Amino acid sequence: MIHGSIVAIVTPFRDGKIDEDALKNLIEFQIENGTHGIVPCGTTGESPTLSHEEHEYVIELTVQTVKKRVPVIAGTGSNSTKEAIRLTRFAKEIGADAALVVVPYYNKPTREGLYLHFKQIASQVDIPIILYNIPGRSGVNMTPDTIARLAGDFKNIIGVKEAAGSVPQASKILQLCGMDFLVLSGEDALNFPLLTIGARGFISVTANIAPKDLSDLYNFYVDGEFDRARDLHYKLLPLNEALFIETNPIPIKAALSMMDKIKYEYRLPLSEMAQNNYDELKQALSDYGLIS
């Protein structure tokens, strides 16, 4: 059910509040361009600055807008196990298809702490769970053996969004967990390379602005048109680089505002781009043909 190009969708704001109309329009833009799934309330969705009520509202609005046309994988992670359980339970009750649960950040749990954290969530909420390993954000790397232990012990832990930036680590996960385990690239520059080792898709930032090319890259690959998939990988490379010139989701929200899809607005501590970086990003979008 879960595969392909999955967008880590932004949370648009207007005057400090969630822009409901803009979010609905972004979802329709994604579905119209072949996106295979949508992740609300991930890193790109600025989940750390959403209140509990807002977090639930964004998940619910996404589920209601998507209407089962593609899977909704709700971001429900927290560095508090109890809070992660509560958010994951809400996602199940509201009709999300799966939960994306990030490795706890800031408190830097041990391997055993990571295992026990995800054990509690998987045991208490009967929903497909995708682990989210992003050591650059969380401060701790969930090793392949811990992932394999969790996958072996809990049938509803179905995969991992792997954003450690390491092809060898992703390979080791697949070797230990088997090719039926869902590995999704969490770094746009590695989407194509990870497909070649057995990943079944990616959760993409770049898909926010170039959904068709990302969905085409995946579709070409699974259809055996490897050269066309590789060509898209290289076409997307400069855009991927520009979108990470500052901390995500600062550039992707700036890019969407340049495309007149959202207001250019963040929540502190995120702020608008430095002017030189903004100009470089604008040039990259122009070169790609996304703006004139």
267-287 residue pLDDT tens: 999 999 999 999 999 999 999
pLDDT of residue 1: 86
Residue 49 is given by DSSP the state G
The CATH number assigned to the domain holding 203 equals: 3.20.20.70
As a whole number, mean pLDDT of residues 92-110 equals: 96
Quick one: average pLDDT of 174-199?
Answer: 98
**Residue 107 domain-assigned (yes or no):** yes
Q: What is the pLDDT of residues 103-126, one digit of tens each?
A: 999 999 999 999 999 999 999 999
What is the three-class DSSP state of 29?
A: helix
Residue 85 pLDDT: 98
- E strand or H helix at 281: helix 275-288
Q: How many domains does the chain have?
A: 1
Q: Is residue 185 part of a domain?
A: yes
Q: How confident is the model at residue 140 (pLDDT cuts 50, 70, 90)?
A: very high
279 within domain boundaries: no
Is residue 203 situated within a structural domain?
yes
Mean pLDDT, range 67-81, rounded to an integer: 97
Share of the chain above pLDDT 90, in %: 99
Q: What is the DSSP letter of 240?
A: H
User: Within a domain: residue 18?
Assistant: yes
Domain span at 56? 4-224
φ/ψ of residue 198, rounded to 5: 125, 0
CA contacts within 13 A on the Cβ side of 134: 22
Q: Distance (Å, rounded) from C-alpha 239 to C-alpha 284?
A: 6
Q: Residue 180 and residue 196: Cα distance in Å, rounded?
A: 15
265 within domain boundaries: no
User: Could you tell me whether strands 17-18 and 13-14 are parallel, antiparallel, or unpaired per DSSP bridges?
Assistant: antiparallel
User: 255 lies in a domain?
Assistant: no
Q: Which residues are catalytic?
A: 132, 161
Backbone angles phi, psi at 127, to 5 degrees: -140, 145
Residue 144 pLDDT > 90, yes or no?
yes
Task: Give 44's pLDDT tier (boundaries 50, 70, 90).
Answer: very high
Task: Write the CA distances from 225 to 73, 161, 193, 194, 222, integer angstroms.
Answer: 28, 25, 15, 16, 7
The answer as to whether 249 is a domain residue is no
Q: Which of 75, 107, 109, 91 is nearest to 7 (CA)?
A: 75
